[in-house]
Every structure is written in structure tokens, then in C-alpha cells.
Amino acid sequence: MSDYANVPEINSLYQEQANILQAVDILDDTGTIMTFRVAPTDQSVNPNALSITIATVSPSQQLLDACRTQMVTRYNDINIQLQSLGISNTPPDLS
């Protein structure tokens, strides 16, 4: 059973999973990747650096496949995080 204090984190994880699922569905339906956004964290050497958005022009199939693989990995990792927070009925893993 989950602790009520974990509800905001659980909701954020479910939202991230929903977004990943939509992105994977789009890629699987001949979608493409139009931009990447990279941002510093509080662990960065320069945490005050600005984030940057990179537009992609005709990304390769290799890039699309690698991004899909990483999104699937993240989706499945979220299931592990949810289980560690006491959620027992996580969605099925993606492949």
C-alpha cells in the first residue's frame, strides 16, 4: 500500500508514463522527432546554464529507434519506481 505522502510523486510518474506511451505510439505510426530539449540540473557544474532546444531536420531511423528504445526503458523503469512506492497494479511493461 502506498503512503499518501507519495501521491504527488506517483501522479507525476503516471503522467510521465502516459506521455511516453503517446510518444511511442506516434513513433510507431511513422512519427518523427522534431526537437530535443537539454537542461542542466542542480548537480550540474553550471546549474544556472540555460536549457537548449535543438531542432532536428530529417532524423535518421537509427536516431528514432534509439529514442524509442530509451523511452521504453524509461517507461518500464517507472513501473519499478511505482512498485517501490507501493503500487501493485502497474501497467504492463512496453517492448
User: Does 89 map to a domain?
Assistant: no
**What pTM was estimated for this model as a whole?**
0.87
**Residue 5 pLDDT:** 85
Burial of 17 (0-12, 13-18, 19+ CB in 10 A): buried
> What are φ and ψ of residue 36, in 5° steps?
-125, 145
Helix, strand, coil share of the chain (percent; to 5)? 50, 10, 40
Which alpha helices (H) appear in 1-95, and where do they start and end? Answer: 7-28, 61-84
Residue 27 in any domain: the answer is yes
What 3-state class would DSSP assign to 35? Answer: strand
User: Is 90 within the bounds of a domain?
Assistant: no
Q: What is the pLDDT along the chain (95 residues), one digit of tens a residue?
A: 667 789 999 999 999 999 999 999 999 999 999 999 999 988 889 988 999 999 999 999 999 999 999 999 999 999 999 999 999 999 999 99
Which range of residues forms the domain containing residue 55?
4-84
- 92 inside domain: no
pLDDT number for residue 1: 61
Indicate whether 95 belongs to any domain: no
Please tell me the predicted confidence (pLDDT) of residue 33: 96
Counting the structural domains of the chain, the total is 1
